[in-house]
Amino acid sequence: MIIVAAMTRDRVIGKNNDLPWNIPEEMEHFRSITKGGVALMGRRTFDSIGQKPLPGRPTIVISKSLEERTDVDVCRTVEQGIEKAKSYNLPIYVMGGSYIYNETLPLADRMYLSYIKKDYDGDTFFPEFSEDDWEVEKREDHEEFEFVVYKRK
């Protein structure tokens, strides 16, 4: 399972149920690395992308309140969501939000993190993690963000 997130160095991932930044290069990077896998996200993240599945990716939404749908899989718990994601036999990309990241972080074997270079205010944060548990597998410097791949030690 792979966690995918964009955040500031202060771990801001959102504000008012949206991204505080608009960086087309980072969004395109996100699309290219997650295409062909399963998208696993919480309901608020699903709301923030317009309540539609991500193209080219089976989409699983974890929610206690969302009605069943035909275009995405709705699961009531993180555990059910992970089991459903595994049934696709594709890479599983955890796409947020904060609660879903927090619940899946201990289970993830990789993280694809885009660190936004500018500071932004936010109300939603990526969970803290110990870099001692992870090794940097790859770093890419981009104009407005740094992309880092972490592999669990």
Give the pLDDT confidence of 11-67 residue by residue, as tens digits.
999 999 999 999 999 999 999 999 999 999 999 999 999 999 999 899 999 999 999
pTM assigned to the model:
0.95
- Nearest Cα neighbor of 109 from 142, 140, 149 is 149
Number of domains the chain contains: 1
Distance of alpha carbon 32 from alpha carbon 25, whole angstroms: 11
Residue 11 burial (10 A CB sphere; 0-12, 13-18, 19+)? middle
Q: What residue type is 34 in one-letter code? A: T
Beta carbons within 10 angstroms of residue 48's beta carbon: 18
Distance of alpha carbon 151 from alpha carbon 153, whole angstroms: 6
Over residues 129-149, mean pLDDT = 97
Domain that holds residue 85: 2-152
Q: Which residues contact 28 (CB under 8 A, 6 or more apart)?
A: none
Over residues 106-113, mean pLDDT = 98
Which two structure tokens, joined as six digits, stand for 88? 């696709």
Which two structure tokens, joined as six digits, stand for 128? 């803290």
- Nearest Cα neighbor of 115 from 2, 35, 26, 20 is 26
- Give me the CATH number covering residue 69: 3.40.430.10
